[in-house]
Amino acid sequence: MNDPNGMVFFAGEYHLFYQYNPFGDKWGHMSWGHAVSRDLVHWEHLPLALAGGDGVMIFSGSAVVDWKNTSGFGKVGQPPLVAIYTGHYTTKPLQNQNIAYSTDRGRTWTKFSGNPVLDIGDRDFRDPKVFWHAPTQRWVMVVAWPVQRKVRFYASSDLKQWTHLSDFGPAGSTKGVWECPDLFPLEVEGKRDMSKWALIVNVGSGAPAGGSGCQYFVGDFDGTGFLLDQSSQPKVAPELVPDGNIDHIILADAPARSATEPALWADYGRDFYAAVSWSDIPKRDGRRLWIGWMSNWEYAQDVPTSPWRSAMSLPRELALRASPGGLRLVQRPVRELQKLRARHHRLRNATVNEANTWLEKRDSLGELLEVVIEFGSAAKAGNFGLRVSTGESEQTRVGCDLAANGRLFLDRTYSGRVDFHPRFTGVQEAPLSAHDGRLKLHVFLDTSSIEAFANDGEPVLTGLLFPSSGNRKLALFSSSDALEVKALEVWELKPSWR
């Protein structure tokens, strides 16, 4: 599996469709797999939703509830679910946009007989994200024009006929092809009367840690075009490690222009891509929720798991936060994940040595853990953080170094199995600063992944890990005695699949 697709909330269920090969554990025969959840934590697999065939693979896209039955696929009081997806032709160089509909809560789907609904005759034109724009009372589609490093905006009154509105790009990171766009408004934290639009553009290569990644832009959308908020543009490019080419079979890449323009990144880890948000979250909830594919196109086909390959990140809630550099995207793990919390360990106001003595007595922690650490005197502490050990020689470090420019880092050099691809190992970094001398780390450890949120979600690092099985041992590290451990909490987590 790879990209998440068609995320929509309807009749009490969160739908997650995803790029899926029903016939193997490598890319090919792309179709839409399907799972549903009532709480974003426990998921139920459902039969294949949209199957590729007749020389057309089912590529990425979105889904909406057609509440007003503008498409005519539903009935009075029974709005249809409508999926908008890219058809990828295997016998000719062509991609176009298609729709399918469901009138039974997404359990079965019918492809529209008038497909395609949008075709510009291009070989690379994909990943439509559609939403209802209330001010103009019409549907808006944002779709990637990958090789041109642009996204295109279209409008429709019925989801069947589409009119071109405008284009955005190239901008930000342009080394890799542009894919899987999204566009949505977000409130600014602490300012209920202020909101901006976030334009998400995932890139096939050129991300800070190398390979594929998720960039974003902050601005305004008037129903026709997207205008950048210049005050939120980064002044210095944070692209820390330029990378080489990728070998994903369908990323038809071609030179566009220099990738030196600054970019904003949703996640600085190696393994967060194709992130898109859920449609139709109820107003009484009010959150903007999204999820990403947890892998990287540089090594996605070589990940050493069996019989499955690939997974999604944890679901996250999004907001914008004011910073000295402008508005920045912040992400927090959804509150529903607290359902998985089991045995709880807590320590307050300790030194690093005292915290490690306390952790040594908890050497039977399982593989599934949630860790929250609040550090004091962080600005003076140099290099510090959390070390996760499995066995004598395996360790993963997630830490901070505020002495220089400030960074959050994830070091998986010795994390376990790293030899399956030359670009898997190494250290990933994100910009970071302390808040009033304090710094908070929130870390989720799964059997084969780590997701680290600093300072309540700005920034985030997501990475795959392949350690030996068995209990995890936790310890803190610090290059300074000045570091204070204000709070340390560890939850052992229950598996979400039981």
Q: Supply the CATH number for residue 398's domain.
A: 2.60.120.560
Choosing from 299, 333, 367, the residue where a domain stops is 333
323, part of any domain = yes
One domain, residues 269 and 345: no
Asked whether residue 436 is assigned to any structural domain, the reply reads yes
Residue 31 lies in a domain: yes
Same domain, yes or no: 264 and 291 = yes
Regarding whether 326 and 465 lie in a shared domain, the answer is no
What are residue 63's phi and psi, to 5 degrees?
A: -145, 150
Assess whether 3 carries a catalytic annotation. yes
Q: Are 406 and 329 contained in the same domain? A: no
Count structural domains, the chain.
2
Give me the pLDDT at residue 404, please: 65
Q: Does residue 498 fall inside a structural domain?
A: no
Strand partners, 318: 288, 331
With beta carbons less than 8 A apart as the criterion, state whether 399 and 477 touch: yes
What are the φ/ψ torsions at residue 380 (nearest 5 degrees)? Answer: -105, 5
- 66 and 169 fall within a common domain: yes
Q: Are residues 113 and 133 in the same domain?
A: yes
Domain boundary among the residues 333, 357, 390 is at 333
383 and 309 within one domain = no
Judge if 394 and 252 occupy the same domain.
no
Q: In a structure prediction context, what are the per-residue pLDDT tens digits for the chain, which is 498 residues long?
A: 999 999 999 999 999 999 999 999 999 999 999 999 999 999 999 999 999 999 999 999 999 999 999 999 999 889 999 999 999 999 999 999 999 999 999 999 999 999 999 999 999 999 999 999 999 999 999 999 999 999 999 999 999 999 999 999 999 999 999 999 999 999 999 888 889 999 999 999 999 999 999 999 999 999 999 999 999 988 754 443 334 333 333 333 333 333 345 899 999 999 999 999 999 999 999 999 999 999 999 999 999 999 899 999 999 999 999 998 999 999 999 999 999 999 999 999 999 999 999 999 988 899 999 999 999 988 777 889 999 998 778 999 999 988 767 899 999 999 999 999 999 999 999 999 877 778 999 999 999 999 999 999 999 999 999 998 888 999 999 988 889 999 999 999 999 986
Asked, for residue 440, whether it belongs to a domain, the answer is yes
- Across 11-55, the runs of DSSP E, i.e. the strands, are 13-20, 31-37, 43-50
367, 434: one domain: yes
Per the domain annotation, does 183 fall within a domain? yes
Spatial separation of the C-alpha atoms in residues 66 and 264, rounded to whole Å? 33
> By residue range, what is the domain housing residue 122?
4-333
127 and 202 belong to one structural domain: yes
Question: What's 69's domain CATH number?
Answer: 2.115.10.20
Same domain as 369, residue 322: no
Query: Catalytic residue among 3, 124, 127, 182, which?
Result: 3
User: What are the DSSP calls for 269-308, one per residue?
Assistant: SSS-EEEEE-B---TTT--EEEEEE-S-TTTGGG---SS-
Whether residue 468 is contained in a domain is answered as yes
The residue type found at 77 is G
Residue 317 and residue 195 share a domain:
yes
Domain boundary among 283, 315, 333: 333
> Which amino acid appears at position 403 of this protein?
A
**CA–CA dist 64, 357 (Å, integer):** 52
